[in-house]
């Protein structure tokens, strides 16, 4: 599993429980040297968290190879090492732990470098980082997951499959989305070794496959579009592969013929030819309602008409929460409002519109772009969105789809913030509903 560049890792920042009570918090620290070293060379680590606490270098406990040590025990150890490729687990005793949210964590790590003159010892490594402590439970009536699309740019460069799944598990999420052609080596014919590893990692990180992203490339051949039969074959290929990997939903990204994302007319024939197969495989085909297509649109009505005409339970709607965006995404370098698509300023669909289609919705991608250190989303109005989903009785997945700035490792922290925000809103709403029911009774 790969490590983040920061000394303070965001993955692993959590409260520690003992006998049902919170006794402290812990985080992971990357070795700052260019080599691993004996653990007895550690001279401690001082830690401060905002205005909440400051502890000296002798206080924190150290975790290596699944065991916990005091600083004194590290000094007495023989053969215990801090490898370069593994993070140390630092535990700070604190009754009650830290509240969920974004914290400013500062460390001063002290190491005894034998080849550096004594007058310059210990060697000090300092870092301050804003990192989010995400709640491990709660979150109202929803399930929570993450799309590996969130790590685009990181994936294959600074993150691999295991690093991604570990980051998802670390926030208490239970579902993972993938893009078939983006995350399956050897697509569309993965090796048996990859399939075995896929299921082994799912088990290790307690995750279930949720939504599998696929494509029907209607412009595959220059000068002509796909036929319905060719489109059906493309969808069939991915339905079978998704089933092989344990997925229950398949989102076909169908080629479009207009600025408001009207799908190529072959979509209906391609889907209908696969409804029996989807039924046999236990998969729901769910095209995406994505900005700039609003809920009240002929495209959505056409999808609903297919469901009602066929009576199928293997076709439904996937909502991308980007349709609720009501504030613009900041301009990127070289962009202007005149030269980029207008929908990036947000189409501002009223969350209350969700109630009209709720019974057809099978999956929600929780699209977002930026959440600040105060846990305020800069584009998506989550309170009315969450309230609308709850009021409509939606109980499925909210699957994070980060689409913001692609600075390396930024997505990990942004997803931690989103899950903290969503769980907080949903938990508060759940409490309010319970209190109303109690008062009414």
Catalytic machinery residues: 290
Give the C-alpha separation, 67 to 89, whole Å.
Answer: 10
Nearest one of 291, 278, 277 to 325, comparing CA atoms: 291
Q: b/e for 110-135, b at 16 or more Cβ within 10 A?
A: bbbeeeeeeeeebeebeeebebbbbb
Residues 6+ apart with CB under 8 A from 158: 2, 4, 5, 408, 409
Residues 6+ apart with CB under 8 A from 20: none
Phi/psi for 403 (5° steps) reads -135, 35
C-alpha to C-alpha distances, 252 to 86, 104, 317, 318, nearest whole angstrom? 39, 41, 11, 10
In a 10 Å sphere around its CB, with 0-12 CB exposed, 13-18 middle and 19+ buried, how is residue 302 labelled?
middle
Nearest one of 176, 96, 166 to 363, comparing CA atoms: 176
Give the C-alpha separation, 368 to 370, whole Å.
Answer: 6
Tokens for 305, please give them. Answer: 């008409």
- Asked whether 110 and 57 are in contact (CB, 8 A), the reply is yes
Tokens 């490339």 identify what position?
217
């Amino acid at each position: 599993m790969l490590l983040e560049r920061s000394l303070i890792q965001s993955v692993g920042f959590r409260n520690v429980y003992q006998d049902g009570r919170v006794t402290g918090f812990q985080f992971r620290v990357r070795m700052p040297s260019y080599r691993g070293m004996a653990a007895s060379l550690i001279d401690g680590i001082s830690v401060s968290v905002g205005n909440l606490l400051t502890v000296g270098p002798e206080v924190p406990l150290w975790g290596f190879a699944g065991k916990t040590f005091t600083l004194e025990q590290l000094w007495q150890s023989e053969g215990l090492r801090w490898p370069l490729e593994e993070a140390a687990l630092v535990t700070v005793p604190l009754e009650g732990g830290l509240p969920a949210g974004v914290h400013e964590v500062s460390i001063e790590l002290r190491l005894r470098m034998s080849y550096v003159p004594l007058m310059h010892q210990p060697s000090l490594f300092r870092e301050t980082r804003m990192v989010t402590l995400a709640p491990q439970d709660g979150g109202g009536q929803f399930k929570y997951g993450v799309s590996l699309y969130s790590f685009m740019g990181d994936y294959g460069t600074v993150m691999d499959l295991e690093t991604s799944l570990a980051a998802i598990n670390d926030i208490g999420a239970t579902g993972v989305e993938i893009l078939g052609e983006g995350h399956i080596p050897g697509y569309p014919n993965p090796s048996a070794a990859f399939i075995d590893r896929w299921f082994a990692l799912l088990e290790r990180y307690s995750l279930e496959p949720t939504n599998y992203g696929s494509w029907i490339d209607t412009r595959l051949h220059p000068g002509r579009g796909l036929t319905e039969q060719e489109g059906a074959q493309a969808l069939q290929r991915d339905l079978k592969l998704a089933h092989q990997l344990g997925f229950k939903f398949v989102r076909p990204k169908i080629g479009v013929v207009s600025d408001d994302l009207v799908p190529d007319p072959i979509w209906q024939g391609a889907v209908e030819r696969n409804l029996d197969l989807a039924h046999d495989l236990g998969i729901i085909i769910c095209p995406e309602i994505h900005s700039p297509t609003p809920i009240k649109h002929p495209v959505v009505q056409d999808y609903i008409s297919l469901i009602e005409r066929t009576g199928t339970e293997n076709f439904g709607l996937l909502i991308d929460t980007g349709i609720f965006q009501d504030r613009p995404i900041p301009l990127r370098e070289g962009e202007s409002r005149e030269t980029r698509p207008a929908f990036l300023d947000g189409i501002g669909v009223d969350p209350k519109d969700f109630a009209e289609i709720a019974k057809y919705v099978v999956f929600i991608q929780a699209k977002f772009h930026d959440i600040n250190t105060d846990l305020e989303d800069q584009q998506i109005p989550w309170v009315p969105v969450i309230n609308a989903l709850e009021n409509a009785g939606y109980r499925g997945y909210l699957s994070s789809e980060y689409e913001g700035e692609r600075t390396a490792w930024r997505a990990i922290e942004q997803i931690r913030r989103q899950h903290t925000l969503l769980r907080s809103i949903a938990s508060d709403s759940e409490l309010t509903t319970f209190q109303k029911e109690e008062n009414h009774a």
